[in-house]
Amino acid sequence: MTMHRHPIQTSTPALTRFSRLERTQGGVGSAVLFLPVVDSTNRRLAEMAREPMLSGTVLVADHQTAGRGKGDRPWISRPGTGLILSVLLRPARPVEELAQVTLVTAVAVADAIAAASGLRAEIKWPNDLMVGGRKLCGILCEMVLTPEGELDHIIAGIGINVQKSDDDFPAFLQGIATSIETETGKHVHRYDLLGHLIDSLEARMTEWEREGFEPARQAWSAQSCTLGREIVLTTAGAPLRGIATALEADGTLTLRDAQGQSHNVVFGEISSPPEITTHGAFPRTAPAKEENESK
């Protein structure tokens, strides 16, 4: 096993005996904390963030018993088979741009998976990582503001299926979820992947703070399995159906409906139209070239 830049100890039976890896203060990985079992890394890190804590602190768990995905859906993980972590972030960007952090995080995770395994994951808007129409990684970002409306912190929760076989998934996820090992046939050590992930998150967050969203927008668009495809977007209102044409400079997604009208959306649940069979994702067709190359 290559230990990369981040030596890791995993035998941590209690919070007071977390392994701590010191890094540039405030950068991702400035402290890396470990628990063998936790209900939810996002919940525990949010609890810890009530006290002064370094931005960039990473909380890793070998297993979580009550992981959450989007819309409070459960994130199912068998002990020892996935990389489960949360990161405390305080990016130096205006509050109105902070929703972009979930898109930047998705690009960073895709970078790390490619570096660790050679696997090219695609990004389903806004931040699910997919391979062949099956979900490889989920990301849940939660933001807390001060009473004055300023950023207190963001917690980015990341769950990557690493060493799972199809039989490791419950029946209702088989054919829907996948893992690095399933897709590559390689044994990738979870903590080698963690080292790459810390590096890529630090690089992408620093790039975003210094240069704005454009570099991440271009990378996200190049790896998207949403752009150029017909989707149905469900929000609190009526479902919206159309072609996803672009990820805009502010992080919104543009859809063009059947009447040719464009809609900019900030959030929502996307799926394929019901008459298209896609195994939970999108048809494996090339994105609309004119849309992706116009930005």
Domain boundaries, the chain: 15-222, 230-292
Q: Of 112, 158, 163, which is closest to residue 137 (Cα–Cα)?
A: 158
What is the residue-wise DSSP string for 161-193? Answer: E-S--GGGS-GGGBTTB--HHHHH-----HHHH
Of residues 275 and 49, more confidence is placed in 49
The CATH code belonging to domain 230-292 is 2.30.30.100
Q: Is the pLDDT of residue 7 over 80?
A: no
The predicted structure's pLDDT at residue 284: 37
Per-residue pLDDT reduced to its tens digit, 68-117: 555 555 555 667 789 999 999 999 999 999 999 999 999 999 999 999 99
Inform me whether the pLDDT recorded for 261 exceeds 50.
Answer: yes
DSSP designation for 97: G
Indicate the length of the chain as a whole number. 295
pLDDT of 283 > 50? The answer is no
Q: Which CATH architecture has domain 15-222?
A: 2-Layer Sandwich (3.30)
Q: Residues 196-225: pLDDT tens digits?
A: 999 999 999 999 999 999 999 999 999 999
> For strand 253-256 and strand 240-247, is the pairing parallel, antiparallel, or unpaired?
antiparallel
* Whether the Cβ atoms of residue 102 and residue 156 lie closer than 8 Å to each other: yes
| Higher pLDDT among residues 9 and 36, named by residue | 36
